[in-house]
Structure 1
Amino acid sequence: MNPINQSILSKSILSKSILNKIKIPTALILSTAGLLCGINPASAQRNTPTCQAPRTGEYLLLVVSPTKDNQTQLKRVLPTKIETNTCKYLNDTVTRIGGFKKIDDANRWARYIKDSAGLSAIITTRPTGTPTPSQAGTQATTVSYKPRRLGSGYAVLVDYYNRPQLASDVRRAVKGDVGFVSYGRRPYLLATYTSNQKEAYQTLEELSKRGFFAIIVDSQKVMLLRSVVNLPN
C-alpha cells in the first residue's frame, strides 16, 4: 500500500476509535448541527412581540413567565377557554391575559395563578383621562437616596415618560408623597406602597381615571431609589 494512503487510513481508524471512546452525546451533536445550520434559539425571544395595550375599561393581567417551563405550567392551571399570548413587557417575557372588566376579577386570577403555578402577575389598565399639566419649567429634585428593595405588599407605579414634572400631578392625585423606584430595569414614580390590597386597587383606578399609566406589581420586585421626590413651589 502507498505509504501516504496507509498514513491517512491509520489516522481515520484512530479518529473513529477516539470518537467511540468519547461517546459524544446525541443532544450535543444535534445542538452543534443546529448551530451549523444557522439555528439560534435566542432569536425566538428576540422576536417576541411587544404586549398590546389594554382597551378602554379593560384590566390586563401580565403573568411573568420568561421560560418555556413557566409558560407550560401556566397553561396547565388555566382553563382552555381563556385566551393567552406570550409577549414582551419592559424587559420581561410575560403571558398576557385580558378581558377583565373589574379589577377584583383580575386580582382573583392573579392570586389563583400565584397559588397554583407560583408565578407573579402585573395588573394594569388603560388611562381614561389626561393628566393636568404642571406649571412649565417645574423640575423635580430628589432626596433621601438610600436604595433598598421594598418588602412584601403592593406597589402602584406610574410611568412618567421622562417627565419628572408629572410627580406633582401624581402627588395631588394620591394626596401624599411620591417616591422614585426601579422596576424591570426602568424608572417609575412610586404612587403607593401598601399591604392593603383594596387601597392599592383604589389608587390604580384613581390614577387611571386621571390619565396616568399605572400598574400594580409585587412590591418585593421593586427597588426604592428615593423615598420622596421633592418639588419646588
Structure 2
Amino acid sequence: MNPINQSILSKSILSKFKIPAALILSTAGLLYGINSASAQSNTPTCQAPRMGEYLLLVVSPTKDNQTQLKRVLPTKIKTNTCKYLDDTVTRIGGFKKIDDANRWARYIKDSAGLSAIITTRPTGTPTPSQAGTPRARATTVSYKPRRLGSGYAVLVDYYNRPQLATDVRKAVKGDVGFVAYGRRPYLLATYTSDQKEAYQTLEELSKRGFFAIIVDSEKVMLLRSVVNLPN
C-alpha cells in the first residue's frame, strides 16, 4: 500500500473510532506490513462464495507458497490463485459444511504451514442503526496494541461504516472490539478457543447479512477491546 493510501486509511480510522494518532503510527508497520510480499498485478479478484457454500482462502503471497500448497493437496482439488482484499490467496471452494472447510484448513496448516480464512456468503441484509454516524464516547482506556493468543477470531468487515459496530454487538449479544488483520481494520465479533462457538457466530452473522470471516487469532492485532458507540 503506498504512503498516500496509508495516510488516508489512518485518518479514516482516527476520525471514526477516535483512536490516538500515536496508536496508528505505532501499529502502522503491522497494519500494512503483514504478508507484505507483493503479488502479481494481474492477479484476479477472488470470486465470492455461492449461497450455502463455505470458502477456504489460503494466504499464499509467493510462488513458493503456492507450489508448497499444491504439493500437499490432492490433484482432484480445484484451486485458483486470486486477490482477497490486499492479499494473494489460493481459493478452495465447494464446502457445504463449515466442519469440512475447517478440517482442510487444519490439514493445510499442519502440512504446509499456511494460514487460511474461512468465509461464506451473507444470506440477509443488515439493518443499519438509525442513529446516523455515531461518535465514539470519550474514554480513559489505555491503548496498548497486542496480538491475540491462540484460538479463533470472527471478524466483520464494517465497510467504513462504524455504526455497524452497534448492529454487530446486538447480533452477538456482547461487546465488539477493533482489530487489524493483514492490512485492514475489522470489527472483532468473537475471540474464542471454542471452535463450535466460532462457527455459530459466523453463521449467525452471515444470516444477518454481515460479511464475516474466521481466522487464526494469533494473526490478529487487538487495537481496542471494546468499541464504544452511543445507542
Distance in 1 of aligned mates of 2:191 and 2:72: 29
Aligned to 2:165: 167
Which moves more between the two structures, 5-14 or 133-142? 5-14
Q: Work out the number of aligned pairs and report it.
A: 228
Distance in 2 of aligned mates of 1:78 and 1:180: 35
- 4+ residue runs of structure 1 moved beyond 6 angstroms? 1-16, 22-44, 139-142
Distance in 2 of aligned mates of 1:105 and 1:228: 32
User: In 2 relative to 1, CA 164–7 (structure 1 residues): closer, same or farther, beyond 3 Å?
Assistant: closer
Backbone CA RMSD of aligned residues: 17.1
User: In 2 relative to 1, CA 78–169 (structure 1 residues): closer, same or farther, beyond 3 Å?
Assistant: same
Task: Please give the per-residue CA displacement for 1:29-57, whole angstroms capped at 9, x wherever unaligned.
Answer: 99999999999999971111111111111
Quote the offset at 1:136 in angstroms: 3.1
Distance in 2 of aligned mates of 1:129 and 1:178: 20
Which moves more between the two structures, 24-33 or 134-143? 24-33
User: In 2 relative to 1, CA 74–4 (structure 1 residues): closer, same or farther, beyond 3 Å?
Assistant: closer
Q: Which has the larger radius of gyration?
A: 1
Quote the offset at 1:232 in angstroms: 1.3
Q: TM-score scaled by structure 2? A: 0.79
Quote the offset at 1:5 in angstroms: 58
- Contact map agreement 2:27 2:145 (CA 8 A) in 1: no
State the SS of the aligned residue for 2:140: strand
- Contact map agreement 2:117 2:213 (CA 8 A) in 1: yes
- Contact map agreement 1:125 1:208 (CA 8 A) in 2: yes
Q: Which is richer in strand?
A: 1
Quote the offset at 1:145 in angstroms: 2.4
Distance in 1 of aligned mates of 2:217 and 2:71: 27
Task: Please give the per-residue CA displacement for 1:86-111, whole angstroms capped at 9, x wherever unaligned.
Answer: 01112221100001011001001101
Distance in 2 of aligned mates of 1:223 and 1:49: 28
Which moves more between the two structures, 4-13 or 81-90? 4-13
Structure 2 alignment gaps of length 5 or more: none
Quote the offset at 1:121 in angstroms: 0.4
User: In 2 relative to 1, CA 143–215 (structure 1 residues): closer, same or farther, beyond 3 Å?
Assistant: farther
Which moves more between the two structures, 180-189 or 205-214? 180-189
- Contact map agreement 2:152 2:215 (CA 8 A) in 1: yes
Distance in 2 of aligned mates of 1:113 and 1:82: 13
